[in-house]
Amino acid sequence: MYSKYILALLTGLFLLSCNDDESTDTTRPEIEILTPADDSHFHAGDSFELRAQLSDNEALASWKVNIHFNGDGHTHKSSSTEDTAVEWEAEWTGDLAGSETSFLLEQPIEIPANAEHGEYHLVVMALDRQGNETAAYSSFEVEAEDHQH
């Protein structure tokens, strides 16, 4: 007797869960890295400003920046930093409390004086309020002071 009611209730819940809700946001945010240019060259101890334009069709929630050493790429080592050089990694995050659909990310970045010479990856990620995430990638090189192109 109760099984009929349980079956009807489960069928109703199933139909409600399958309903296409047109208000659900499935569009990922967009990211444009403005500076530094891809394949830029810096020296250990230099600083630069990351500028990236983030946008979303509804509302941005947060951003994240990650820099890490690309160990598979070529490196340029000088004898003065060879023993103390570190494969530099860094990360910054930020929350966007409002309902911004556009945000200019400006993050000052200082390359450590003992950063390993070689290629680094720069990753900028954005998350919107619905949990959609996207990432943009760039690379730059940290080279020795005496490096010639």
Residue pLDDT, tens place only, 102-135: 999 999 999 999 999 999 999 999 999 999 999 9
Which residues pair with residue 49 across a beta bridge?
Answer: 108
Q: Please say whether the beta carbons of 119 and 74 come within 8 A.
A: yes
The C-alpha torsion from 13 through 17 and 18 to 23, rounded to 10°, is 140
**DSSP state for residue 6 in the 8-state scheme:** H
What pLDDT score does 145 carry?
74
In terms of pLDDT, which residue wins out, 142 or 80? 142
* pLDDT, mean of residues 77-81: 42
What pLDDT score does 79 carry?
41
Residue pLDDT, tens place only, 30-64: 999 999 999 999 999 999 999 999 999 999 999 99
What size, in residues, is the chain? 149
Residue pLDDT, tens place only, 11-32: 554 544 554 545 688 999 999 9
Question: Which CATH number is 24-143 given?
Answer: 2.60.40.2550
What pLDDT score does 37 carry?
96
Domain ranges of the chain: 24-143
* pLDDT, mean of residues 70-96: 70
